[in-house]
Structure 1
Amino acid sequence: MTMPEAPEPERTPSASELFGQALGGAARRAGMDPAKDAHTGHVVWAAMGGWRGVLESVLPGLAFVLLFTFTQNLVLSLVVSVGLAAVFTVVRLLQRSPVSAALGGLVAAAVAAGLALWTGRGQDNFVPGLITNAAYGTAFLLSALIGWSLIGLAVGFLMNEGVAWRADARKRRVFFWLAIAWAALFYLRLAVQLPFYFSGDVTTLGTLKLIMGLPLFAPLVAVTWLAVRAVYPKAETPATS
């Protein structure tokens, strides 16, 4: 009589796999899943959140810049900016649509407004954004330099291959340069915007933040999507007779 084999213990996911799952899940929610056959324009538009996402990203900042430029009233400018972010969040709640992006924008706007009110300086409304760019840029750069590209980790999860892409020289090279490109975007924002922060030029700083936001984000999403699809070509469909 043979004894039944004991079931193999479940393998605990590694830190890189867990991180990849988190990144891949975020990319999938943003509509960037290379396993799906989607048009590049559709992917970029989905990543921006459609018209609602564009408005949620642009209007609060635009309102702050315009009001502060023409009134120099910091409190009014901040109240209207945060108020718009709050309206977007409430609308999403009422419509029972995903609130993560709007809620994140509201929290960021509230934190930035609180800092600006505390210091009394309009340029401090942009400090959280500058810190975010520095953090993201550093994360992408370091991930590329140590051979664990954040792009690769996310794509590896989405394509159900984990970290196997690291054994493929072509994929590793593509993911390296994509991570470098994203790091360059975040550092470029810092390099251009920091001088105006230190000079206290709120109008120019706010304008540059808007110009260097979605208008630069969208093309890089498209490049990333096309590069990833190039190293994961669509499987050929067998011919039918």
Structure 2
Amino acid sequence: MTMTDTNRNTKPGTTGADETPTGPVTEVEPPPSILDQMGGPMGFVYSTIPVVVFVAANAFLSLPMTIGVSIAVALGLTGFRLLQGERFGTAVGGLAGVVVAAGLVAWTGSAKDFFVIGIWVSLAGFLATAGSLLARRPLTGVVWNLVHGGKHAWRADRPTLRAHDVATGAAALVLGARFGIQQWLYLADSTGGLAVAKVATGTPLTVLAALVVIWAFRRSTKRLVRQA
């Protein structure tokens, strides 16, 4: 074989000896973490400001003015987050939550209803997660299996099933505690207490529960996908 034939049979971007790639290597960016998906470290601050503003304004202004101030602050925060390069869905999602809550307050005429949607969402989440545990089909395991094609017998693997029992239990505990505390304060007509409870049981507990869920997902992938 001539040198010309050797060059012809050599793949582009490789050497003739060992065909080791010599071209530029494209680095794959790691997927965003759960904290990044929630808006990063500042996401907690952004989700807290409209709540604090609403309660503070309600102490000094009429309810219509309070609603206007809270929406104006939410709009300003959304614009600032977009200018900072934050994801559109994350930034606008916070605004949508404030607008819906403020609309409910305007409809009922009660300031405490600013928190009612979050309270009932927590109850629905608790019923879903706790119910899946009672049915021996923990919700995080169902979601993990769907993400991976729905073809894994994850409930037959006891360590995997236990991991999802723990993860789903952690989610149920957070959601149940959030509902119980805020519903009690709602019935007590404590708008200020609801604001404190929303902040305390919001992002911090959500991140802790999400970390447990991520652990269960990784454990399941290691046992059922990578070993296979």
Query: What is the TM-score of this pair, normalised by structure 1?
Result: 0.69
- One-letter code of the match for 1:153? V
The reply to whether residue 199 of structure 1 matches residue 204 of structure 2 is no
Paired position in structure 1 for 2:40: 50
Paired position in structure 1 for 2:23: none
Report deviation, 1:174. 1.7
- One-letter code of the match for 2:54? F
State how 1:47-126 maps to structure 2 within 5 Å: 47-69=37-59, 71=60, 73-91=62-80, 98-126=87-115
Report deviation, 1:193. 1.4
State how 1:175-186 maps to structure 2 within 5 Å: 175-186=164-175
Instruction: Tell me the number of residue pairs that the alignment of Structure 1 and Structure 2 aligns.
Output: 197
Which residue among 117, 136, 151 is the counterpart of 2:140? 151
Q: Structure 1: any 5+ residue segments left out of the alignment? A: 1-35, 237-241
Contact preservation (8 Å) 1:85, 1:105:
yes
* RCO higher in structure (CA 8 A, sep ≥6): 1
Report deviation, 1:108. 2.3
Contact preservation (8 Å) 1:60, 1:80:
no
Q: Structure 2: any 5+ residue segments left out of the alignment? A: 1-28
- One-letter code of the match for 2:155? R
Cα deviations by residue, 1:204-235 (Å, 9 ceiling, x for unpaired): 11111111101211222222223433344496
Contact preservation (8 Å) 1:82, 1:110:
yes
Deviates more, 1:100-109 or 1:179-188: 100-109
Query: Is the alpha carbon distance of 1:49 and 1:161 closer, same or farther for their aligned partners in structure 2, counting shifts above 3 Å?
Result: same
Contact preservation (8 Å) 1:153, 1:162:
no
Cα deviations by residue, 1:30-66 (Å, 9 ceiling, x for unpaired): xxxxxx988xxx8342243204533332221121123
Secondary structure at the aligned position of 1:50 is classed as coil
Deviates more, 1:153-162 or 1:48-57: 153-162
1:162 and 1:59 map into 2 onto residues whose CA distance is 44
Contact preservation (8 Å) 2:140, 2:168:
yes
Secondary structure at the aligned position of 1:190 is classed as helix
Deviates more, 1:208-217 or 1:158-167: 158-167
> How big is the alpha-carbon RMSD for the aligned residues of Structure 1 and Structure 2?
2.9
Paired position in structure 2 for 1:222: 211
